[in-house]
Amino acid sequence: MKMTKFALTVTDAMQSGNLAVRSHIYLDYGRRRNAMPWDDHGKYMNIWEKQDDGSMKLKAETWNSDVNPWQEMQKMEEKAPEGHEGHQH
Give me the chain's average pLDDT, please. Answer: 81
- Higher-pLDDT residue of 72, 17: 17
Q: Which residues pair with 29 in a beta bridge?
A: 5
Q: Any idea what the Cα angle at residue 64 is, between residues 40 and 17, rounded to 5°?
A: 135
For the stretch 24-53, pLDDT in tens is 998 887 666 666 667 788 999 999 999 999
Range with top average pLDDT, 2-6, 26-30, 59-63: 59-63
5-79 carries CATH number 3.10.450.50: yes
pLDDT for the residue 82: 62
